[in-house]
Amino acid sequence: MLEVSNLSVRYGRHLALENAALNVAKGEIVVVLGSNGAGKSTLIKGMAGLVRTEPGAKITLEGTSLHKMPAHRIVDAGLALVPEGRHLFSTLTVNENLMLGAFLPRTRARAEESMERVFAVFPKLKQRLTQIAGTMSGGEQQMVAIGRAMMTCPRLLLLDEPSLGLSPLLTSELFRALPSIATTGTSVLLVEQNSHQSLAIADRGYLIEKGTITGEGTAQELLASEEVQKAYLGM
């Protein structure tokens, strides 16, 4: 359903991402593994329209081309991003954050139903609706950020290092939630440094290094491969 090819991003003279290509099928969880500065965030921001991409790229979501679309229209097309740093509306309540996720006319009518879906994945949020989002712990804020993205009724959910800054316990709690999102038909693409836990829940994975995608395989293949074990799993 998502097909990306020839995606390049340049920051000034520095080529941060070169001819990246990947695809995600419906209901699939795909992880992009890479170390700091490998171009993971750039890849995901390029897809979401948050950074300027080089001409010639192809990004299609169920046949609709997203390339060069402004970020807010990409959301309407069905691609939602949970960004690094979360970018929550920190002075607004949890409820307002979630309701803003249903800002678009396409998602407004389904807001209640979406809210139930969010509570099914993160029951904790139900008791926190009136809390100011900025006063929550990092893990809870990440839940709100994912919940907000779910409110946009995405076909594909992008997650930029959701485990960053979270304790191992919270990370596993968060990762356990992702398959339940995928079973509702929403595909998930996440970029991570945390290879163990992300590969445990993913169907497939890609490896990214110095701005280029260097390998791909099923989660089992990657877990077993020597290259991955050495570079990412510390074995």
Residue 50 beta carbon to another protein: minimum distance, rounded to whole angstroms: 7
Residues 22-51 that bind another protein (CB under 8 A): 48-50
Q: How far is CA 103 from CA 148, 151, 154, 187, in A?
A: 10, 9, 13, 21
Out of 19, 60, 103, 129, name the contact with another protein by CB under 8 A.
103
* String of contacts with another protein for each residue 83-102, x by CB under 8 A: x--xxxxxxx---x--xxx-
Q: Nearest-CA neighbor of 143 among 112, 180, 113, 106?
A: 180
Residue 46 beta carbon to another protein: minimum distance, rounded to whole angstroms: 14
Residue 81 interacts with another protein (CB under 8 A): yes or no: yes
Q: What is the largest CA-CA distance in the chain?
A: 50
How far apart (Å, rounded) are the C-alpha atoms in residues 109 and 17? 38
How far apart (Å, rounded) are the C-alpha atoms in residues 74 and 61? 10
DSSP for 39-107 reads: SHHHHHHHHHTSSPBPTT-EEEETTEE-TT--HHHHHHHTEEEE-TT----TTSBHHHHHHHHT-SHHH
Residue 119 beta carbon to another protein: minimum distance, rounded to whole angstroms: 18
Residue 54 interacts with another protein (CB under 8 A): yes or no: no
Q: How many residues bind another protein (CB under 8 A)?
A: 31
Residues 118-137 that bind another protein (CB under 8 A): 134
Out of 55, 70, 185, 234, name the contact with another protein by CB under 8 A.
70
How far apart (Å, rounded) are the C-alpha atoms in residues 224 and 233? 10
Comparison of 152 and 187: residue with beta carbon closer to another protein: 152
Residue 150 interacts with another protein (CB under 8 A): yes or no: no
> Where do contacts with another protein occur on this chain (CB under 8 A)?
48-50, 70-73, 75-76, 80-81, 83, 86-92, 96, 99-101, 103-104, 107, 134, 148-149, 151-152
